[in-house]
Amino acid sequence: MSFGLFQREQRSLFGEILDWMLTPLLLLWPLSLALTWFVAQGIASKPFDRALEFNLQALTQFVVGQNGQVSFNLNAQARDLLRADDSDLVYYQVLDSRSQLISGEPDFPPPRDFETPEPGRVLLRDDLVRGDEVRVAYTWLARPDPERLVLMQVAETKGKRSTLAAEIIKGVMVPQFVILPLAVLLVWLALVRGIRPLNELEQRIRARKPDDLSPIEESAIPQEVAPLVSSINDLLARLTASLTTQRRFLADAAHQLKTPLAGLRMQAELAQRETDPVEIRGSLQQIARSSARATHTVNQLLALARAETTGRTLPSARIDLARLVRGVVQESVPRALEHGIDLGFEGPDHMPDDCLMDGNPILLQEMVRNLVDNAINYSGRGGVVTARVLLDPFSGVQILQVEDNGPGIPENEREFVLQPFYRALGTNVDGSGLGLAIVQEIAQQHGATVLMEDAHTDRSQRGLRAAVRFMPKTPRQE
């Protein structure tokens, strides 16, 4: 929102700068005129004040004191001093020490009470005489007795002063009426020129092809927008990495789905050509297995996509890891029994209240389910799978372990099995190669680390232990 005089519905950097430059200018212009008026009044008053003081001092020469009496004898010269021009009137007054009128206007306003008489000193003030604003020059005269002071005042209306002040104001205002529009025009042209690099940058971005994600050249841009362009380049780099990952993911997904779908088509064609019920039944069984494999792959792809794209936007809640893992294990018991697996859980019934972790329960259940399913698939009939939850009461670290007695994973391949579609060599278990990749993605979103290690320190025994280590958000207070 713009705070200037000119409001706009859409925020404009050009408009806001113009507002903030012109608004103070337009607000200060009347103030400058008012200040100029007061200054002009002072400038116009100075020469007329000096003339008024001169007239007063000249008239004091006609105040005569003799035999204790004071008189004011006007001659032709004095009358010329009192004769005003066409624009102003002149008033005068002479009072003796008893404030008795000697000559002049009887209704002339007296000096202010706080002014102390000082013989020979000329003072000035603004006052009213017969309703007219006047400038008054006055002084006290020690005639004929120094102890008995005579007051003499001369006043002049302000016609000439106002005329001169108005001429000064006109001389100042007329150039300003020319300079102000010119200044606005120059400011506008300067802003247009200054903002031109932004327009050029906009045109360069608009001229790009949709698939051009290369960084924007930063050498020809203003320093003020360099951080913005740098942020855009960083966004483009991350977008390029994301699109590359998506393309690779789609290619791998298409490759993984191609095999079961090709098998489905082949078995369906064989079943159509067969007349032997036994062969037809065998083809249908193959179709069922291929369909199950394709369904599992699609479900895993959807799970991985959900973990990668929506994990950060799903709501977070306080989660008891022990209860969550125990619930997943209980759900997996029927599948474990179907494969002849001894599935168990080791850990507390629930976590202490101060050890609850922040996370998304849907994603965490998906992570635990993939670890348990992976262990069941690779343990073989008669195998043992144990899901375990450990808590370090001092550091607050929570560890999820899923241990099996399957063939395990060689050390040189443990880093690669966390990538999508990678499967360890030498295994005959159906799978999509996405289970551990899903575990890795969900763990990263919860600030956890995944570690693959041997289930036993004795290398002669087989087995794999997959551990997910959850770090506390803040240090625990004892």
**Per-residue pLDDT tens digits for 409-464:** 777 777 777 776 665 554 555 555 667 887 888 888 888 888 888 877 766 667 88
Instruction: For residues 127-141, give the mean pLDDT.
Output: 89
pLDDT score at 138: 92
Instruction: Kindly report, residue by residue over 29-68, the tens digit of the pLDDT.
Output: 788 878 888 887 778 788 888 888 888 888 888 888 777 6
Better pLDDT: 276 or 390: 390
> Residue 415: helix, strand or coil by DSSP?
coil
pLDDT score at 324: 92
- Give residue 273's pLDDT band: very low, low, confident or very high (50, 70, 90): confident
- In the structure encoding, which two tokens stand for residue 232, read together? 């855009």
User: How far apart, in whole angstroms, are the C-alpha atoms of residue 219 and residue 227?
Assistant: 12
Instruction: Kindly report, residue by residue over 92-104, the tens digit of the pLDDT.
Output: 888 887 888 888 8
> Residue 403: helix, strand or coil by DSSP?
strand
- Give residue 263's pLDDT band: very low, low, confident or very high (50, 70, 90): low
Walk me through the domains of the chain, giving residue ranges and CATH numbers. 1-194 (no CATH), 209-309 (1.10.287), 317-470 (3.30.565.10)
Instruction: For residues 83-87, give the mean pLDDT.
Output: 67
The answer on pLDDT for 477 being more than 70 is no
- Asked if residue 371 lies in contact with residue 412, where contact means CB atoms within 8 angstroms, the answer is no
User: How far apart, in whole angstroms, are the C-alpha atoms of residue 243 and residue 142?
Assistant: 105
Q: Would you tell me the crossing angle of helices 277-309 and 226-273 to the nearest 10 degrees? A: 170
Instruction: For residues 292-314, give the mean pLDDT.
Output: 61
Q: Phi and psi for 2 in degrees, rounded to 5? A: -85, 140
- Asked if residue 204 lies in contact with residue 198, where contact means CB atoms within 8 angstroms, the answer is no
pLDDT score at 240: 83
Instruction: Kindly report, residue by residue over 326-382, the tens digit of the pLDDT.
Output: 998 998 888 888 888 899 999 888 888 888 888 888 888 888 888 888 888 888 788
Asked if residue 215 has a cis previous peptide bond (ω within 30° of 0), the answer is no
- Give residue 114's pLDDT band: very low, low, confident or very high (50, 70, 90): low
What pTM was computed for the model?
A: 0.46
Q: 448-454 and 132-141 as β-strands: parallel, antiparallel, unpaired?
A: unpaired
Better pLDDT: 226 or 82: 226
For the ranges 1-15, 169-183, 200-214, 404-418, the lowest mean pLDDT is seen at 1-15
The answer on pLDDT for 472 being more than 60 is yes
- Give residue 281's pLDDT band: very low, low, confident or very high (50, 70, 90): confident
